[in-house]
A = this chain, B = another copy of it.
Amino acid sequence: MTSRKKLQGLVAATITPMTPDGQINLPVIRQYVDYLVNEQTVKNVFVNGTTGEGLSLSIQERKQLAEEWVCQGKDKLDHVIIHVGALSLPESQELARHAAAIGAGGIAVIAPFFFKPTNKVRVEELLEGIKERIPTFQGVKFSDTDLLDLAQCIHKNEAQQLEFLYGVDEQLLGALAVGANGAVGSTYNYLGRQTNLMLEAFAKPDLVLARKYQFLTGEFLNFVIKLGFGVAQTKAVMTFVSGIPMGPPRLPLLGASEEFIAKAKAKLDSIVWPDGN
């Protein structure tokens, strides 16, 4: 994991394609990589996370998926980050060793969520001296709407060169304003191109244009959130946008309804983006 490119910009939280009978559909990954790079201009992926139903998969399945993404992403993707979080620490360690062995670009772990801290802890406090405790620590996927905490994290960790990728897709612009380096999210699977245009506008800075993009992605997300929007629905949206069959989710998730799909598609089709697409 040496001489790495800096991790910034958009990272797609990848979906795990499944066959109609609920098995992971590895052969589709190759097409998925090409689609992200060529159609969505997204060159970083986050594999086996929440969007990828990582915790609903067996350890063996997670390894297979990690291998396929690393293999297919070679020379095409900039960073393949494998989420290795698990409720069982030995299993998480096993996944981390595996990620290193197959040459993944990095690993990520979710915070404990079954046995969890009883007091609310700010991320900013967690990061104090983190590099001394975890020398390979690179950054945080920050997925809270508390931008005070995010701003403090960024400010206090400039010297440590940590990267802060924002995880609440629908309000990324607010996070960019306080200094986020990029974003990890499921939206970037199918709205990556438009979001990259927002990042460009913001970098100029052309805030009026950036705001326009954020409004329009918000318009779509706001609409589907009201209908009930989760991983199952994201799989359905990605299927109709990309044409790649993402398949059904695994239980306990239930597939998106036909009604949801029809409405979501109509909504997305109705949006006119500033670049005319």
Contacts and interface: CB of A to CB of B under 8 A. Distances in A.
Interface of A: 53, 55-58, 61, 87-91, 112-116, 118, 122, 124, 145-149, 151-152, 155, 170-171, 173-179, 205, 207, 210-211, 214-215, 218-219, 221-222, 225, 228, 230-231, 250-253
List 8 A-B pairs, minimum CB-CB distance, nearest first. A174-B174, A177-B177, A147-B171, A145-B145, A148-B170, A112-B252, A55-B87, A155-B215
A124 to B, nearest CB: 7
A135 B149 CA distance: 39
Nearest to A222: B152
A176 B222 CA distance: 20
Q: How many copies does the complex hold?
A: 4
Nearest to A179: B211
- Majority SS of interface residues in chain A? helix
11 contacts: A55-B114, A87-B87, A89-B252, A115-B252, A116-B252, A118-B230, A145-B145, A147-B171, A148-B222, A151-B173, A152-B222
Point out which of A148, A222, A250 has the most chain B C-beta atoms below 10 A from its C-beta: A148
Contact of A88 (B55, B122, B147, B174): B55
